[in-house]
Amino acid sequence: MTPHELIATLEKHERWLKRVTGGARAMMPLVDLQGHNFNAANLQSAKLSGANLSDCDFTRANLSQADLFAARMTRALLTGCNLTKADLRGAHLRGAKLKGAILREADLRGGALLDRRSPSQMSVQRSDLSGADLDDALLSNANLAGADLGECSMVGADCQGAQMSGCNLSNAVLKSTNFSNSDLRGANLAGANLAGASLRGANLMGANLTGASLRNADLHGANLDGVSLASVDMTGANITRSQDNFSQKVQATLSAHFAWINSNGAKGTRATLDGEDLSHIGLEKVNLSGASLKHCTMVGAKLRESLLIMTDLVSANLQNADLCGATLDGSNLRAVDLTGARLDGAEIGSVDIKGPDGRPTGRLWPANLSGAKLVKASLVRANLRNANLSGADLRGADLTGANLIDANLRGALLDEAVLTGAALPLPDEDEDD
């Protein structure tokens, strides 16, 4: 198409949009338009399926409801372009600049194109936006299912309610992006930077978050079923996972444990969840007494005011967990990692051992925190009376007002720990002066 023909086509399209005599819809399927300038042009509802639009300038152009099915738009400049409800199925947008573009309700799923010049040839391809610049783009309710967005930048973009299941977002920069109520099932977010992103109510079931950063992200109400957070940076993230977000095994085990507790052992069974990933689980004010949670990953778990009496937590990872007001009397916390955890007002003391007749024997079973890591943990007004803290790492911990009477602190590290108002055990008589 010559420049003269292209200008004439655009003029007729404008007349068609205004319903003026002599107008005609722009019909340019499979046309090679590489490098042309469409700055601020009005191409609403234009047909450009399969067209070569690579390196074109569509800055502030209107391509709303345009047919861009399988169009090649590699490196195209689409800054501020209006692509509302555009058909971009199977489009190639690798390296395109879409900063501030409007893609509300646009369709970016994969697509198949039949070449009219070779009727027997059909190519099936998914939308390619790898490396694209989508900063501040508006993609609410857009359909990007299966699209390739690897290494793209979507800083501050609005993807609220978007369909993004099966998307490749590996190594993408998604800082402060709004994914609220979006569908990200099975998406590949490995290595993605989601710092400050909003994922409230998002469906991330089965998504790959290996090595991703979710620092200060909001995941309230997000579905993380089948998602491993073991290698994810969750610093400052707002996240609570209900029991429904975990496997059927975990749900059934917890239900059976609660039945066991409520029936005094007549029904159900004691929970054994050794080695399970229970990161960010929300179990506030529940009774997990007697459960076996050895080697569990419970990073960021919400266990405020829960009962964990005589619970086995050997070598569990409870970094940044919230155990304020929890009762852990007699629990086995040997080698547990409570770095940065909050245990303000927690009871971590002893239980009275009872005889066969149910009467106290006068003997105590203290909580075992030997070798525990409590670096920078908050234990304000916590009760650690009689607890075994031998070899524990309490460097930088806040023990303001804590009760450590008769606690075993042999070999414990207390460098830079805050002990203001704490009740400490008497000096060991065996220690050298």
**For residue 319, is pLDDT > 90?**
yes
Q: What is the pLDDT of residue 122?
A: 61
pLDDT at 144 over 90: yes
The answer to whether 331 touches 308, Cβ cutoff 8 Å, is yes
What tens digit of pLDDT does each residue of 268-298 get? 999 999 999 898 898 999 999 999 999 999 9
Percent of the chain with pLDDT over 70: 96
- State whether residue 11 is helix, strand or coil: helix
Q: How many CA atoms lie within 13 A of 321 on its CB side?
A: 32
The helix (run of H) or strand (run of E) holding residue 402 is: none
Angstrom distances, CA of residue 115 to CA of 82, 86, 213: 27, 21, 43
Count other Cβ atoms within 10 Å, centred on residue 311.
Answer: 25
Give all domains of the chain, ordered by start, each with its CATH number.
248-433 (2.160.20.80)
The whole-angstrom separation of Cα 5 and Cα 7 is 6
Question: For residue 237, what pLDDT is reported?
Answer: 87
pLDDT at 19 exceeding the cut of 60:
yes
pLDDT digits (tens, 9 = 90+) for 340-367: 999 999 999 999 887 787 787 788 899 9
Q: Would you state the pLDDT for residue 2?
A: 86
Of 201, 212, 141, nearest in space to 173 by CA: 212
CB atoms under 10 Å from CB of 2, counted, come to 7
pTM (two decimals): 0.73
Residue 373 has pLDDT above 50, yes or no: yes
Give the three-class secondary structure for 5: helix
pLDDT at 433 (0 to 100)? 47
Whether residue 123 is predicted with pLDDT greater than 60 in this model: the reply is no
Check: CB of residue 346 under 8 Å from CB of residue 327. yes
Task: Answer yes or no: is pLDDT of 253 > 90.
Answer: yes
What whole-number distance in Å separates Cα of residue 200 and Cα of residue 203?
9
| pLDDT tens, position by position, 147-205 | 999 999 999 999 999 999 999 999 999 999 999 999 999 999 999 999 999 999 999 99
Q: Which of 299, 336, 331, 298 is nearest to 314 (CA)?
A: 336
Q: What is the pLDDT of residues 201-225, one digit of tens each?
A: 999 999 999 999 999 999 988 988 8
Cα 198–chain centre separation: 9
Structure tokens at 207: 């998504």
Span 78-85, mean pLDDT? 97
